[in-house]
Structure 1
């Protein structure tokens, strides 16, 4: 394979895996070995290895002796990521408010409707997917590229936390209510209200996570 084609394939594999991570399609039990991924893409190991190593260097994957996995976060790291989210995400969402297109609003509306249905069905995977759609839509509308990329960098690292908190029946209704309120604020282009609601959303997720951890230790 020509050198330029190898470089192109390496970037393609990187983009595909990054997208899978950010859409929540990769779970913490998944493990990726370069030879198996090379078979999937019908390429040699080198572009696969380069792509997976880049994802590892950027914090999206952990490199182990048995392949690549999502990061296994310590309690300290999780608490620090929540702190980052409290500091960055409310302001980022406020900045995104007036940048959202009509298509973005339509996507947010469908996702919130999907979340609302889970209050009756209890389908946590559907709630997870809807929550990821909401989060990804407003993040991609953030006009400050450095801020957006910083938030995207730790999206993969909060997936296990997100799945745990969404399984918390106590928090389920609260989180859906906040998603509904945020949609209304986005539609009204009320950046100040969006900022407040996003902070409340992060705090609700953090409270749920800490409550679940305390329950596990009892």
Structure 2
């Protein structure tokens, strides 16, 4: 089941979107007042969201400057891929027997939506549909700690400096990644737990792919 979103969650999502769209860059100070005014909320949920992002190592609270956006090095990205891949593969194994036909059809829909996003150079749509694709089985793994940990680690890639220009230059790469989604779906349909884990760890989240700067 999806959690009810608090004001803090909505502020968190807003800041994440700003980072993904390139409106915030590493070392740039986060303007709490501007966010509060933009979302018509008090400073409290804004502060709570910033503290959460700081705890997740996405932001850094710098003395006399406030919260600033951190970056992710290539080495850190490769290490994150290793850890996230193992956790994502574990979630896939755990949910393999619980996914319904409706869940599988939703995953197929998200794959088709990603194809459309690639063809129309809609990078934001691609990222959104990709997250929804993975979230289908992560939500069904029946392990809230595992699900929350994957979400927290994936959020570190907010700071990789995504941009529409980069997406346009990587249409072939995005298509390749979406083909991986098709293979993941096939393995789910086959209920191949070992194959799922191996493919997600060794292919989809292979550390060698970290330099692609794509989720």
* Contact 1:52–1:68 (8 Å) recurs in 2: yes
The answer for unaligned runs of 5 or more in structure 1 is 1-10, 213-218
Note the C-alpha offset of 1:169.
4.4
With normalisation by structure 1, the TM-score equals: 0.72
* Contact 1:168–1:208 (8 Å) recurs in 2: no
The RMSD of aligned alpha carbons is: 3.3
How many angstroms apart in 2 are the aligned matches of 1:150 and 1:190? 24
- SS of equivalent residue, structure 1 residue 155: helix
1:54 matched to 2:56? The reply is no
1:172 matched to 2:166? The reply is no
* Contact 2:115–2:178 (8 Å) recurs in 1: yes
2:191 corresponds in structure 1 to 189
* Contact 2:69–2:159 (8 Å) recurs in 1: no
1:71 corresponds in structure 2 to 70
- SS of equivalent residue, structure 1 residue 63: strand
- SS of equivalent residue, structure 1 residue 73: coil
Note the C-alpha offset of 1:95.
1.2
* Contact 1:140–1:148 (8 Å) recurs in 2: yes
2:7 corresponds in structure 1 to 13
- SS of equivalent residue, structure 1 residue 98: coil
* Contact 2:54–2:60 (8 Å) recurs in 1: yes
- Give CA-to-partner distance per residue, 1:2-27, whole Å, 9 cap, x none: xxxxxxxxx823221344567x5642
Alignment of structure 1 residues 29-108 onto 2, 5 Å: 29-30=23-24, 32-64=30-62, 68=67, 70-108=69-107
With normalisation by structure 2, the TM-score equals: 0.73
How many angstroms apart in 1 are the aligned matches of 2:66 and 2:106? 35
1:202 matched to 2:190? The reply is no
Worse-superposed segment, 13-22 or 143-152: 13-22
How many angstroms apart in 1 are the aligned matches of 2:211 and 2:149? 24
* Contact 1:34–1:49 (8 Å) recurs in 2: yes
* Contact 2:59–2:69 (8 Å) recurs in 1: yes
Change (3 A) 1:50 1:179: closer
The answer for unaligned runs of 5 or more in structure 2 is none
- Give CA-to-partner distance per residue, 1:123-182, whole Å, 9 cap, x none: 444332321221222222222222222111112112455958965345333212111111
> More helix by proportion, 1 or 2?
1
Change (3 A) 1:179 1:163: farther
Structure of greater relative contact order (alpha carbons < 8 Å, 6+ residues apart): 2
* Contact 2:11–2:45 (8 Å) recurs in 1: no
- SS of equivalent residue, structure 2 residue 80: helix
* Contact 1:161–1:209 (8 Å) recurs in 2: no
